Amino acid sequence: MEMYILKSAACLALFFTFYKLFLENTSIHNFKRFYLFGSLLASFLIPLITFTTYVETSAFIAAYTEGTPQLIFSETEQAINYWHYVLWTVYGLGVLFFSLKFFRNLFGLIQQIRKNPKYRNNSFINVLLKETVIPHTFLNYIFLNKAQFENHEIPAEVMLHEEAHARQKHSLDVIFVEILQILFWFNPLLYFLKRSVKLNHEFLADRAVLKAGVETSVYQKILLAFSSNAVTPSLAHSINYSSIKKRFTVMKTHTSKRAIWLRSLLLLPLLSVLIYGFSTKEVVKKEIQSEIVQQKATEAELAEYNKLAKKYNAVDIEKRIIKKNDLERLEIIYKKMTDAQKSNAEPFPECIPPPPPAPKVKKGKESDIPPPPLPAPKVPSAENGNLYTPA
C-alpha cells in the first residue's frame, strides 16, 4: 500500500509539472480540462498496471527416506506492529475530517437553495440571497444578491460568465477532485491541482463571454469591478481577484496549431516513461514437469529376442551354453521391454552357473609331496599260465 501511494504521488507530480510548464498558459482550455481530469485517473491507475514475465523452471520431486534429514520448522511469536494501526487510525481520522468538511459545504449550498427565493432563467436557476455575495455557480444554480438582481445592477457579461460554468458542468470536475481529496487528503498536490482545475474553468468561462461578442477591455473592467476577496463556498465558482492577472494574460494568448501538436506529442514519451517506471513488474516461475518416457522395444527387436530365447530355451538347462554376443543382445532388448511385452515374450533363457574353481595347492618342500603308487606285481594265470595285472 505504501509503495502504491508513493508511485501515484510521483506520477501526479510529473503530470502536474508538465501541465505548469507546457500547458497552463496556452489557449487550449478544453484540452487542458481533459488533461487535468485524465492525469488524476492515470496517476492512480498506472501503479496498478502489472507486466508479467514468465520464467520456465524445471520441477522436481524430492523423495524423503528414513535416512534423509528433514527440517523442522517451529512457529515463533511475531512482535505486534503498532505503527500499522496508528497510521490507519490517523488516515481514518483525516478521511472523517475532510468528509465532514465536504458534506458541510454541500449541505450549506442545499440550504441556501431551499430557503431563498429562486428565479428560473431558461435551464438555469437564479438563487437570490440577501447577503452581499460575488455571483457564483454550483451545478445549474447561480447564486446572486437579491437587491442587485432586482435592480438590474449585475452586468450581462457576468451572467454570461456564470451561465458558462453551469452549461459546461464545471462543478462535476470540482466534486470529483473533492472526493479524491477526501481519500488522499495527505497528498498536497491535490490542493494545487484543484486550484488549476478551477482556474482553467475560469479560462473556459471567459472565452465563452468573449465569443459572445464582448470586447476584451470592457470585460476586463467588469471583472475588476466585481472581483474581491469575499469568501465563497469551495464547491462553487466565482470571480476571483487573485487569478485576475493570469486570466487577463491568457485572454490575449493564442496558441498556434503547430505548438498544440508539438506539446501534445510530448505527452507520448512522458506517458511511456511513467508506465515503464511506475508500473509493477512481476516474474512468474512456470514449472515444466519433465516426463520420463519409458523405453519400449520395437517389433523387430521383439522378434529377434523371441528367436534367440526360443533357440536357447529348447536346450536343457544342464547343457545350455549361450554365446557371449547373444547373451548381451538378449539383455539389451529385455531391458527395453515393457512389462506387457515381457509377459507376452519368451522367458529369458537362464544358465546353470559354472562350478566354483578348484582350490589351489600350496607349494611346499619336495619331501612333503607323497610318492606315486607302485605298480601291482604280475602273477601267473591259472588258465593258461600267462601273466596278468589285476584290476
pLDDT digits (tens, 9 = 90+) for 197-244: 999 999 999 999 998 888 888 888 888 877 654 555 566 655 555 678
Compute the distance between CA of residue 182 and CA of residue 186 in angstroms, rounded to an integer.
9
Could you tell me which residues are beta bridge partners of residue 379?
A: 388
At 4 the pLDDT is: 85
At 35 the pLDDT is: 92
3-class SS of residue 215: coil
Residue 96: pLDDT band by 50, 70, 90 thresholds? very high
pTM: 0.64
- Taking all residues of the chain, what is their mean pLDDT, rounded to a whole number? 79
At 17 the pLDDT is: 92
Compute the distance between CA of residue 252 and CA of residue 254 in angstroms, rounded to an integer.
7
Residue 383: pLDDT band by 50, 70, 90 thresholds? very low
Compute the distance between CA of residue 163 and CA of residue 211 in angstroms, rounded to an integer.
14
Over residues 82-87, the mean pLDDT reads: 81
Could you tell me which residues are beta bridge partners of residue 228?
A: 240
Residue 132's closest CA among 151, 156, 111? 151
- Delimit the domains of the chain by residue range: 2-56+81-285, 294-353
Residue 93: pLDDT band by 50, 70, 90 thresholds? very high
Residue 170: pLDDT band by 50, 70, 90 thresholds? very high
Q: Of 117-126, 237-246, 379-388, where does mean pLDDT reach its minimum?
A: 379-388
3-class SS of residue 387: strand
3-class SS of residue 170: helix
